[in-house]
Amino acid sequence: MSSSPFDSQFLVLVAGFAVLLSAGATYVASSLLIGLLGKKGRVVMDYHKKGKPMVPKPGGPAIILGLVVGEAVLYLFTQQASLLALMATLIIAGVIGLLDDVVTLSGAVKPALLLFASLPILLLGAYDFHLALPFFGAVRLSIIYPILLLLAIPVTSNTVNTIDVLNGVVSGFMLIASIPLIFALLLFGNYVVAAAATVFAATAAAFYLVHRYPSKIFPGDSGSLTLGAGYGALAIIGRAEMVGVVALLPAILNSFFFLSTVKRLVEHRKVKERPIVVSEDGLLTASRKPEAPISLVRLIVARSPMFEHQVAGEILRLAAFSAILAALTALTVRGF
């Protein structure tokens, strides 16, 4: 896409500017939201801490703003239609997330609405139906790919939403997962999409600063659904679908474990038995009830109880392990 040295240098400059702008916008907007939401009383209980403090929510608008501002700068300078599709996907997923933050959508309505977030990628043709697979190159999926694409954004959004369970996890997880994606996009020569993915990583990193333990603000569904939709869209428009899937494996397994025990699409807040129990001093213990759903956190604390920041650290270590597997996947795709 940018083959000459001048073009490459220009793209690096524009990407650098977009990264600074998106990170700055996310951090400043988050800081403003912490004060504003606190004053308006839009706070929720942080269940996993001693004393159960109240934390402002949602910080999603700051994430949406940071991502859209950064990607808009990239679009202005590159004029790539795929970036328009990415921005539209981010905005639609963000609006659905905000709606969910205000009225709490059901476990079935939310993924159904998120189908609309896939439409910009389909309608603007920002995809390639040749799926790049490890070891033996691309496979033409002209009929099934658009159907899979339609489902991809609801799936990635909800999958990422399910790991928004502890302080700093969803923002830290997305930051780590974006590293192999950027690596793959650079390896495949999709430099503009790699720049867009770097903006994504910068936004996640900026939000992590206020979301890490102890959280000053929660992203809410507007934040986690936007991050999930953005990640899915980047993997699709950059033709790095397999890398994206592998990088999200801990979140995918978390969803799989949860769904295979609950056996229906249900809003996690409406599950009667909690997978973990929080003691008075804030120690997280695996639920002893067999009917409690299995989740990644429950499996992590099954051997011995842990504090929230320790569990969050373990999830981020799993994300790093998956990121290594995703980078290896990128190399196997590139090799052919």
Q: Which residues bind another protein (CB under 8 A)?
A: 133-136, 139, 242, 245-246, 249-250, 252-253, 256-257, 260, 286, 288-290, 294, 296, 298-300, 302-304, 310, 313-314, 317-318, 321-322, 325, 329, 332
Which residue, 34 or 247, has its beta carbon nearer to another protein? 247
Nearest CA among 237, 244, 258 for reference residue 322: 244
- Residue number with CB closer to another protein (67 or 246): 246
Output the smallest distance, CB 91 to another protein, in A: 31
| Least Cβ distance, residue 175 to another protein (angstroms) | 18
- Whole-number Å distance between alpha carbons of 226 and 86: 11
> Closest distance between another protein and the C-beta of residue 333, in Å?
11
Residues composing the chain = 336
CB 293 within 8 A of CB 258: yes
Kindly state the smallest distance separating residue 110's Cβ from another protein, in Å: 23
Q: How far is the CB of 115 from another protein (least distance, A)?
A: 21
Query: Between 103 and 143, whose beta carbon lies closer to another protein?
Result: 143
What are the DSSP calls for 194-210, one per residue? HHHHHHHHHHHHHHHHH
CB proximity list for 114: less than 8 A, separation 6 or greater: 93, 96, 153, 154, 157, 158, 225, 229
Query: Nearer to another protein by C-beta: 104 or 260?
Result: 260
For helices 220-237 and 191-211, angle between their N-to-C axes, nearest 10 degrees: 160
Q: Select 120 or 180, whichever has its Cβ closest to another protein.
A: 180
Hey, what are 70's tokens? 């950064």
Are the C-beta atoms of 58 and 221 separated by less than 8 Å? yes
Complex with another protein: residue 115 or 139, whichever CB lies closer: 139
- Minimum distance of another protein from residue 170's CB (angstroms): 18
Q: How far apart are CA 58 and CA 101, in angstroms?
A: 7
Count of Cβ atoms closer than 10 Å to residue 103 Cβ: 8
Residue 329 CB, nearest distance to another protein (Å)? 8
Nearer to another protein (CB atom), residue 239 or residue 298: 298
Token pair, residue 5, equals 């040295």
Q: How far is the CB of 201 from another protein (least distance, A)?
A: 21
CB of 207 or CB of 258, closer to another protein:
258
Residue of 62, 90, 115 whose CA lies nearest to 225: 90
72: its two tokens:
């808009």
Task: Tell me the CA distances in angstroms from 279 to 1, 55, 152, one per residue in order.
Answer: 54, 19, 38
